[in-house]
Amino acid sequence: MVVIRRDVFSTESTMDQIRTRSWRDYIRATFTMRESLPAWLSRCYFALAILLILTAYTALAYLGDNTLIPTWGKLFHGVGEMWKDPKSGDYVLLKDTIDSYARLVPAIGIASVLGVVLGLYMGTYVAAESMWGRLLNFEENIVPNVAMVVFITLFGFEFKMFAAVIVFGILPVIAGRVYAAVREVHDEHIFSAKTLGASNQEIVWSILFWQVLPQIIDAIRASVGLALILLVATEWVAGQAGYGYRFLRLYRSARMDVVIPYLMALGFMGIGIQVFFNQVQRLLCPWYVREGQ
């Protein structure tokens, strides 16, 4: 018997909500739509999902004549190689991360600055929206990796080309989300600011920017995943270093024992990025309350 707080959507009284539950209640809660679960049970279901994946993987790796899926022993060996290449002595993951992030971070920075400025002004001035809104919408429909042909012609295989592909791909996403956030700001906030003597630029930068900062951070966070996809694809085709280039080499040598740990490492780094952005948002926007919180 465990004491849990039950369904927030129900009309039960507080006394009814806090009462002891049997395992039958947990099973019923599991199969009831939108029924809240105690934290320990949620964690159990997460562990169950991991267990299912590991079991399926083990079955694939050990049963039959499958030679493509590495066994656990090969996988642990692959983790070692992913960390340090026995031939060159390079710290592979670290080196690739430095190479790729040296392209990724400045490109996201450029796209963020441009996207935030465009989004803020498009959301505030109809003229800016008329100028750039449709163009960005059109640009969003061009596949950035195909546009790479143009960027290679213009910039060769240097940093500028990688940055251009990323900026081209994520700029409309950031600008669009910032624009939508600014449009959500009620007219009353703008009119009030004017009655307080704010100039147009003060309204944009001293009020609207700070008011939509949580959505700006969300927009940048959402664009990191897309930026990584674009970068890896570009490095695969035109890189001499970085994640994409590494995956191309691993693919050619059919090293699934390194590829799988590498993918896992990238997944964990992705979670690290999400946590970083969450912390930044919490630090800069203590007033921001997400829906449902």
Partner 1 sequence: MEARYQVALDCVDVHKAFGATQVLTGINVKIARGQIVAMVGSSGCGKSTLLNMIVGTHEPTSGRILLTRAGESYEVQGHGPDRGMVYQEYSLYPHLSALHNVALGLMLGSTTIPARLVGSITGSWRRARKAQLEASEAMLARLGLAGHTHKFPHQLSGGQRQRVAIARALIMQPEILLLDEPFGALDEETRHDARRVLLDLYDENMKAVQEGGEPPHTVIMVTHQLEEAVHVGDRVIGLSKHWKGRDGRGARVVYDKAAPVFHASDPIRNGRITHQAEELYEIVFDGRDLDPHEHRTFWETVAQGQAEGVLAPRS
Q: Which one, 210 or 251, has the nearer CB to partner 1? A: 210
First-to-last alpha carbon distance for the chain, in angstroms, is 28
73/46 Cα distance (integer angstroms) = 25
Crossing angle of helices 144-155 and 159-184, rounded to 10°: 130
Q: 20: buried, middle or exposed (CB in 10 Å: 19+, 13-18, 0-12)?
A: exposed
Q: Which one, 89 or 197, has the nearer CB to partner 1? A: 197
What are the tokens at 235?
């490095």
Q: Which one, 234 or 281, has the nearer CB to partner 1? A: 281
Q: Which one, 19 or 189, has the nearer CB to partner 1? A: 189
Q: Which one, 64 or 286, has the nearer CB to partner 1? A: 286
Q: Which residues bind partner 1 (CB under 8 A)?
A: 186, 188-189, 191-198, 202, 206-207, 210-211, 213, 285-289
Q: Which one, 193 or 256, has the nearer CB to partner 1? A: 193
Rounded least distance, CB 292 to partner 1, Å: 14
Q: Which one, 204 or 258, has the nearer CB to partner 1? A: 204
Q: Which one, 92 or 198, has the nearer CB to partner 1? A: 198
Rounded least distance, CB 70 to partner 1, Å: 51
Q: Which residue type does 83 have?
A: W
Rounded least distance, CB 214 to partner 1, Å: 9
Q: Which residue type does 191 have?
A: F
Rounded least distance, CB 288 to partner 1, Å: 8
156/40 Cα distance (integer angstroms) = 54
The answer to whether residues 129 and 179 touch, using CB atoms and an 8 Å cutoff, is yes
Cα–Cα distance list, 260 to 66, 97, 102, 245, 255 (Å): 16, 16, 24, 16, 9
Rounded least distance, CB 203 to partner 1, Å: 9
115/173 Cα distance (integer angstroms) = 8
Q: Which residue type does 160 have?
A: K
Rounded least distance, CB 62 to partner 1, Å: 55
47/53 Cα distance (integer angstroms) = 10
Rounded least distance, CB 293 to partner 1, Å: 10
Q: What single-letter DSSP state applies at residue 85?
A: -
Name the H helices within 141-212.
144-155, 159-184, 187-195, 200-202, 209-211
Q: How many CB atoms lie within 10 A of CB 247?
A: 22
Rounded least distance, CB 196 to partner 1, Å: 4
